[in-house]
């Protein structure tokens, strides 16, 4: 059996998850479910980026020991994946001993030939866990990802990685799609960035600044491994790197990293360079999604418009939220979330669409005592999902739903009582439900269970209308 390994970004756990995290988890889950339904042995991984400086600062502000703080928040992220109906096979914590004291240190040792120590002074964004040059900041000297937050001026002795050594190789790998970056405009952004000379990057921080939290640098207990050198390696440590070579050989390299646009550089440039240096295989592709806005504004704790996904799931259920993410939010661009628009989409596409169609056909079966012997069709490949075009894939499915609804109106089976015709509706609905499985797994399961035969009865509406 062929394998397919999907990763979602390893979220910082300096705060509980917000609705933007839910978007990425759902996208990763769709990709993994899709390939599993095609008969592949799949692996879906994420976890907790626990060794970041921002976690230490957040824990100190909350007056909670760092370990307790990150454990609590990491568990909330895992709970969210379950509430969304996502099936993560591995949830790898950054503080796990297999990661910290085996995998992270092994990667460091493999890269040792391109690691050196020097004193450095620069502008540091704690939000990004990244040094920036003045040229990389906006006109106000602020980070593009975290406007309004003052950068720290940091001067200390760190270990650096010779990133500049890999510039030409990276240009070639990205240009020829050895590492395929999706969509193309993100690929072009990385190639544009690579037109400037690459700067060697800091890959450690002092114990003093790290508050003795994180992975110790091998052979130098005064330093901790920098978050990106550490956290990106979770993609490997979670599948056995350094501790289970048989497992690692089965799953690595990743078929796709699912990430947000703000961390493209780390995944498309830094991460491949580390792997090239270590003599390890490179990820095959990187799928980059956009961000959420909320009612047209960027989601921000300062503004107070951060949406708690648990509240939405409790109120509306997981599949309606999954549908909105996948149908309404462009998979490779920014998209807006508003509860009023959510309700419109819910009523139009779910309550009046697939929900109403399922209820109509079930009622026809019940009234006409239609019995069937249900055989599930094979799940088929979908070019839109292959290209991570989730919205277009659902658009095609909803065309089939509307077409079947129109067909029923034309045939008027409540007058003809034609059992053969009604059975054809069932067959078409089952095909829709099978195709729906990666996107709305709970809904697909309910439909397939309801129509598995032999007798078919009406049931509770899949999606009661919202007022």
DSSP reduced 3-state for 274: helix
Q: pLDDT tens for residues 106-154?
A: 999 999 999 999 988 778 777 677 777 777 788 777 877 767 777 888 7
Domain spanning 339-467, CATH architecture:
Orthogonal Bundle (1.10)
pLDDT digits (tens, 9 = 90+) for 253-267: 999 999 999 999 999
Q: What is the structure's pLDDT at 136?
A: 79
**Known catalytic residues?**
18, 21, 125, 128, 143, 146, 298, 301
Contact in structure between 158 and 117 (CB atoms under 8 Å):
yes
- Entry pTM: 0.93
Residue 325 and residue 318: Cα distance in Å, rounded? 11
Distance of alpha carbon 68 from alpha carbon 70, whole angstroms: 6
Q: What is the DSSP string of 7-42?
A: EE---B-SS---HHHHHHHHHHHHHHHHHHHTT-EE
Domain boundaries in the chain? 339-467
359: confidence class by pLDDT, cuts 50, 70, 90: very high
pLDDT average, residue stretch 70-86: 96
- Sheet of 204-206, strands arranged across: 204-206, 220-225, 216-217
Residue pLDDT, tens place only, 282-320: 999 999 999 888 877 777 665 677 789 999 999 999 999
For residue 245, name the pLDDT band (cuts at 50, 70, 90). very high
Q: State the pLDDT at residue 259.
A: 97
């Amino acid at each position: 059996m062929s394998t397919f390994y999907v990763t979602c970004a390893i979220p910082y756990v300096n705060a509980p998850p917000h609705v933007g995290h839910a978007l990425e988890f759902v996208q990763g889950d769709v990709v993994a479910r899709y390939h599993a339904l095609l008969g592949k042995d799949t692996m879906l991984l994420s976890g907790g980026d626990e060794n970041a400086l921002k976690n230490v600062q957040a824990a100190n502000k909350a007056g909670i020991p760092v370990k307790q703080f990150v454990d609590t928040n990491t568990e909330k992220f895992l709970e969210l994946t379950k509430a969304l109906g996502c099936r993560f096979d591995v949830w790898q914590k950054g503080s796990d001993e297999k990661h910290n004291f085996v995998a992270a240190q092994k990667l460091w040792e493999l890269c040792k030939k391109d690691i050196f120590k020097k004193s450095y002074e620069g502008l540091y964004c704690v939000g990004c866990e990244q040094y920036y040059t003045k040229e990389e900041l906006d006109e106000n000297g602020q980070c593009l990802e975290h406007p309004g937050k003052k950068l720290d001026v940091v001067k200390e002795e760190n270990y650096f990685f010779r990133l500049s050594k890999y510039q030409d190789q990276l240009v070639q790998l990205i240009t020829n799609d050895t590492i395929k970056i999706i969509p193309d405009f993100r690929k072009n952004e990385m190639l544009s960035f690579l037109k400037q000379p690459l700067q060697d990057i800091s890959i450690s921080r002092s114990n003093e600044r790290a508050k003795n939290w994180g992975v110790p640098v091998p052979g130098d207990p005064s330093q901790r491994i920098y978050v990106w050198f550490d956290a990106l390696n979770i993609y490997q440590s979670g599948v056995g790197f350094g501790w289970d070579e048989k497992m690692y050989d089965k799953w690595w390299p990743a078929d796709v990293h699912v990430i947000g646009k703000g961390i493209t550089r780390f995944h498309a440039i830094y991460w491949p360079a580390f792997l090239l240096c270590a003599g390890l295989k490179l990820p095959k592709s990187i799928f980059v999604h956009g961000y959420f806005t909320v009612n047209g504004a960027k989601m921000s704790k300062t503004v107070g418009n951060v949406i708690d996904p648990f509240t939405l799931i409790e109120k509306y259920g997981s599949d309606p939220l999954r549908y909105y993410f996948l149908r309404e939010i462009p998979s490779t661009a920014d998209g807006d979330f508003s509860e009023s628009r959510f309700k419109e989409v819910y009523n139009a596409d779910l309550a009046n669409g697939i929900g109403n169609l399922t209820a109509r056909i079930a009622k026809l079966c019940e009234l006409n005592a239609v019995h069937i012997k249900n055989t599930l069709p094979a799940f088929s490949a979908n070019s839109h999902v292959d290209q991570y075009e989730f919205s277009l894939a659902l658009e095609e499915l909803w065309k089939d739903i509307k077409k079947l609804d129109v067909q029923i109106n034309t045939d008027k089976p409540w007058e003809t009582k034609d059992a053969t015709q009604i059975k054809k509706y069932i067959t078409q609905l089952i095909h829709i439900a099978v195709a729906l499985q990666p996107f709305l797994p709970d809904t697909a399961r309910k439909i397939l269970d309801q129509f598995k035969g032999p007798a078919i009865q009406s049931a509770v509406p899949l999606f009661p209308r919202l007022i």
